[in-house]
Structure 1
């Protein structure tokens, strides 16, 4: 493989990683509207980065064996999880003093990371069929999504200070809208 085609593949993968990572940024923006410490933001970004490594990796492996039927299922599951998180955050914003049912800690963090990385699984299926370089692909996807998640969470944290008590409802609305967009592309 010559340097020009390698550079072309690298640019293509970075563009794909940015496109996939933008959902992590958007959802991070919404999740950042709840009160998070910097340590939590760090762990959330790393967790989402890891999920954006292993989800496309699994997708690529399966994509080499099966058709792209699972891509639609992954998108539906991701949309459903985001809707669930969004509705939960909206309801939690009206209950003063109660902790939200799902927070980006422990199991909630796993659900959160899974919801934003399911589209990476779908892309991994496609890339597996076409036989792209696995290690390069998953490394770029993981790093870009981690950085974009951190940016989204940090911007959300800043906005949260301005919006006060309405910030959690706004964050939930963002997650809900993003989930609906996954289920009903418009």
Structure 2
């Protein structure tokens, strides 16, 4: 997996956390240190979940090797489609900002886990591709930390209007990556 692909994957998987962080920042108006702590929670959880998916994928890799590219295409397409669906079906930013939200650490962890489940599904796909999961997980975690921290700070200032746009772009990128994997394995393109 090329460094550009790892970066695009990291940005795509960080889009959910970025969107959620913008919303939390709009509601909670965090200080810089609170935004960094939230970013660390999002980043750590987002780094662990693809490793879990990767381990599960390795377990099944021998059984599905002949169709692994179709599985990667399906999983990335489904996650990307879900992100696009959620980005286009959200309630208005004003209504989202007015909704009550919990301030506790448990709510933060639950939000981080919820936004990282797609990374577990992508991790399954990565097992079929033979990637260095350590490099990919660190990249995803670091990117998520940075974007979630920035999202909290942006949300504090700009409100929750930018979150759906980030999620939409992330979904499109994931579908593009899944399509590229499928086309490469079918021999229709070489990169």
Give me the whole-angstrom Cα distance separating, in 1, the residues matched to 2:172 and 2:59.
Answer: 28
Q: Structure 1 residues 168-177 or 43-52, which shifts more?
A: 168-177
Equivalenced residue count is 160
Q: How does 1:69-108 map to 2 (within 5 A)?
A: 69-87=70-88, 90-91=90-91, 93-95=93-95, 97-99=98-100, 105-106=109-110, 108=111
Find the aligned partners of 1:84 and 1:104 in 2 and give their Cα distance.
23
1:124 Cα deviation from its structure 2 partner: 1.8
Q: Which residue of 1 aligns with 2:59?
A: 61
Q: Residues 161 and 52 (structure 1 numbering): CA distance in 2 closer, same or farther, change over 3 Å?
A: same
Cα RMSD, aligned residues only: 3.1
Once residues 111 and 147 of structure 1 are traced to their aligned partners in structure 2, the CA distance between those partners, rounded to angstroms, is 18
Structure 1: unaligned runs, 5 residues or longer:
1-11
Q: CA deviation at 1:151?
A: 0.8
Residue in structure 2 matching 1:173, options 161, 165, 168 = 165
For normalisation by structure 1, the TM-score amounts to 0.67
Separation in structure 1 between the aligned mates of residue 148 and residue 168 of structure 2, nearest angstrom: 17
Kept in 2: contact 1:82–1:115 (CA 8 A): no
- The alpha-carbon deviation at position 143 of structure 1 amounts to 1.9
CA deviation map 1:39-86 (0-9, x unaligned): 332221111111121122222332232121321221132123323442
Is residue 61–residue 125 contact of structure 1 (8 Å, CA) maintained in 2? Answer: no
- Mapped to 2, the partners of 1:111 and 1:83 lie a distance apart of 16
CA distance in 2, matches of 1:52, 1:13: 17
Compute the displacement of 1:175 (Å): 0.7
Shift of 1:13: 7.4
Shift in Å, 1:183: 4.1
Unaligned runs of 5+ in 2: 26-33, 102-106, 181-191
